[in-house]
A and B are shown apart, each in its own frame.
Chain A
């Protein structure tokens, strides 16, 4: 392996060295719970027949997504994908609007024009994905190019799944970014499978992060069940990019704990693999870390945070359900932009 293998984060002191104080540690915990909670509730709503279309979750990747999202700066920009709910949450996306998106309501980010995880709050520096993978990788590179041209100390983050790294878009994005040493971080959510296709039928190299060498930058492999290690490595990569050090390829290793989408029972995943990874659940792992290192966590903080998250999500579902379905008479609206809409902060 050419890529660097990141070490685990075992103590609060190490987390502090990566810029996290105790309140940050608890906030990360809350983000993890909100991330999983939104997808669990969405799943229930889907089974109740309330969510049209299909439904995807990122179970198993909560730490990977929250860890990177939390490491991004306020003015940074990201193009998260289908397993990255945690990025939206870590950057402050309002859960009720996510439910409104799922439900196809006017307050969803796509206003009913698009659904499920094809969403983002652009005001938070996030760009909504399209289905076509990894079409947003070159987009993130374009954002990084703009930062470079304008001498802004901002960084773009481009996510891809393991499977989507097989497409040409991904190669072109990394190559261009490497040539120009642009301020962009490429994250791979390597959850072992692309739909039913295992890593071994997707790419022949040992680790995807090794490919970074060919593009002239560093590759790092990190355990996606260790939210603090993901955060530390993402922060390093982002700050390096911000200081002119060029791109990094960060491969986050997890297992996709559910089917590709809710219709898929993942029969093709070898027996025992889910059970083995369930023992390494990222949220349980982090809870154990907090219980060991944060005074009062196991006794009261944990329960208080869980209760607060539960209430937040109850309220979010209720509010989303009050949002109306779009009026069919508006079906033509929005195909072309109105000049008055060009005032989003990230456009300036």
Chain B
């Protein structure tokens, strides 16, 4: 196994799938000559040529609309939004056309939209968002939020092979910071299977994306401090999401904290909390807690952004509340 960064793992998955399957092509703003704003497709155009690594005009509806049309005709497009935030310009197409196509007309749309998401670098209100929850409300789309290099690769290849439109949220704060061993060769990770990132017995944190690492750090500190044993469950995919894994972890720990970087109200954490309250009320020894960003746009200035994005200390406070309940 090779040690790869999260970003390299995404590149690897995409490159290998393009080598394996000539139907796969890449489209997006500055993905060719420039190699993408974050360099995920660096070197791709020299290997695959300008028609399989297509520099598009600045036009998100055109990019995603083209994915619909090309995938309908048997291709397997992988689009890149320059930042996840700009998918709002293609929202109408994704929701109105792509998400409903198979249900209405029976034609599968096997395409992937890659969305560099998340904050932590003073990107401000338009370069920091985590819009996965709003798409989770749209039946017909699949949503992937990997947190480790291995998952990033395995889930990307799975996404490319999936016959539905898949939104693949790659967290920018993980790109170069997170490294890990990634198996080589042709393998995938199925959607809808959560992963125990850290095993524990006193309480469960359900999270995904960059917050997996925040949760892990908080859990490590809690263990060191007073032996509190926290389980960190990484959902990995939001649509579909692994209810069974969440419910069985809660059955063992009886306490649940849901953590996400997106804003709190109507965030996907609310769905998880509601499901557990419906299906496992008797198993709970404490109220379900949520830690999420406050209901504001993502602020730019460092002290404000730090107050916005859930920090390790915020998670620790919630752990304490649950542990002492």
Chain A residues close to B by CB (< 8 Å): 52-54, 104-105, 108, 110, 112-116, 118, 130-133, 161, 163-164, 166-169, 194-197, 201-203, 268, 325-332, 334-335
Q: Which one of B58, B89, B125, B302 has the highest number of Cβ atoms from chain A below 10 Å of its Cβ?
A: B58
Partner of A195, one of B34, B127, B302: B34
Q: A114-B124, A131-B127 in contact; A52/B58 too (CB < 8 A)?
A: no
Interface residues of B in 21-59 (CB under 8 A from A): 29-30, 33-34, 37, 55, 57-59
- If A53-B123, A54-B127 are given as contacts, then 18 extra A-B residue pairs at C-beta distance below 8 Å, sorted by A number, are A52-B302, A104-B300, A112-B301, A113-B301, A113-B304, A118-B126, A132-B85, A132-B88, A161-B58, A166-B62, A167-B89, A194-B57, A195-B37, A196-B34, A197-B58, A201-B55, A332-B296, A335-B295
A225 smallest CB distance to B (angstroms): 24
Chain B residues positioned under 8 Å from A166 (CB to CB): 57-59, 62
B61 smallest CB distance to A (angstroms): 6
Chain A residues positioned under 8 Å from B30 (CB to CB): 195-197
B58 touches A327 (CB 8 A): no
Q: A113-B304, A325-B302, A331-B308 in contact; A164/B125 too (CB < 8 A)?
A: no
B41 smallest CB distance to A (angstroms): 12
B306 within 8 A of A: yes
B85 touches A131 (CB 8 A): yes
Partner of B57, one of A116, A130, A197, A331: A197
Chain A residues positioned under 8 Å from B125 (CB to CB): 113-114, 118, 130-131
Interface of A is mostly: loop
B301 touches A164 (CB 8 A): no
B301 touches A325 (CB 8 A): yes
B305 smallest CB distance to A (angstroms): 8
Interface of B is mostly: loop
A326 touches B29 (CB 8 A): no
Q: A114-B300, A132-B85, A332-B296 in contact; A195/B123 too (CB < 8 A)?
A: no
CB<8 Å pairs between A and B, sample of 8 = A112-B303, A114-B124, A195-B34, A197-B29, A197-B58, A201-B57, A326-B301, A328-B307
Q: Which one of B123, B125, B299 has the highest number of Cβ atoms from chain A below 10 Å of its Cβ?
A: B299
Chain A residues positioned under 8 Å from B241 (CB to CB): none
A167 touches B58 (CB 8 A): yes
Chain B residues positioned under 8 Å from A132 (CB to CB): 85-86, 88-89, 126
B11 smallest CB distance to A (angstroms): 18
Partner of B304, one of A53, A169, A202, A328: A328
B304 touches A331 (CB 8 A): yes
A125 smallest CB distance to B (angstroms): 23
B57 touches A203 (CB 8 A): yes
A130 touches B126 (CB 8 A): yes
A105 CA / B302 CA spacing, docked (Å): 10
Chain B residues positioned under 8 Å from A52 (CB to CB): 121-122, 300-302
A105 CA / B296 CA spacing, docked (Å): 18
Partner of B296, one of A203, A329, A331: A331
Chain B residues positioned under 8 Å from A331 (CB to CB): 294, 296, 299, 304, 307-308
A164 touches B300 (CB 8 A): no
B303 touches A113 (CB 8 A): no
A334 CA / B308 CA spacing, docked (Å): 14
A93 smallest CB distance to B (angstroms): 18
Closest to A334 in B: B296
Chain B residues positioned under 8 Å from A168 (CB to CB): 59, 61
B3 smallest CB distance to A (angstroms): 26
Closest to B54 in A: A201
B118 smallest CB distance to A (angstroms): 14
Partner of A335, one of B29, B55, B297, B302: B297
Closest to A167 in B: B59
A113 CA / B55 CA spacing, docked (Å): 32
